[in-house]
Amino acid sequence: MREHKQTTGDWLSALTIMGRILILVPIVASLLGFILSNDGGLEASSGDAYVMGMIFLCGVVTLVYVAIKRFQEGLRGEAEVKEDKE
C-alpha cells in the first residue's frame, strides 16, 4: 500500500486553529461570566482562574511553536519548493 504523506502546512494549519481556540475559550468564558454575574464582578474561584490561565498559556505556546516552525521552513526554502510543485 502507498503511504499518504502529510504535508507540513496541513498540520501547522491545524495547530494554528487549535492555538487560537485555546486562547479564545478562556477569554469568552470570562466575558460570559462577567456579563452573566448579578453583581457585575467576577466570581471565579482561584482554581477556575488557574485552569483558564493554563489553557490560555497552552494556546500561546502552541502559536509560538507554529511560528518557529514556519520561520524554519522559510529559512530552508521549503515553502517555495512546495508552491512550485503544485
**How confident is the model over 15-64, as pLDDT tens digits?**
999 999 999 999 998 888 878 776 656 566 777 888 989 999 999 999 99
Q: What is the value of pTM for the model shown?
A: 0.72
Distance set, CA 36 to CA 33, 41, 67, 83 (Å): 5, 9, 36, 48
Q: Which of 71, 61, 59 is nearest to 21 (CA)?
A: 59
Handedness of CA 68, 70, 75, 78 (dihedral sign): positive
Q: Is the pLDDT of residue 6 over 70?
A: no
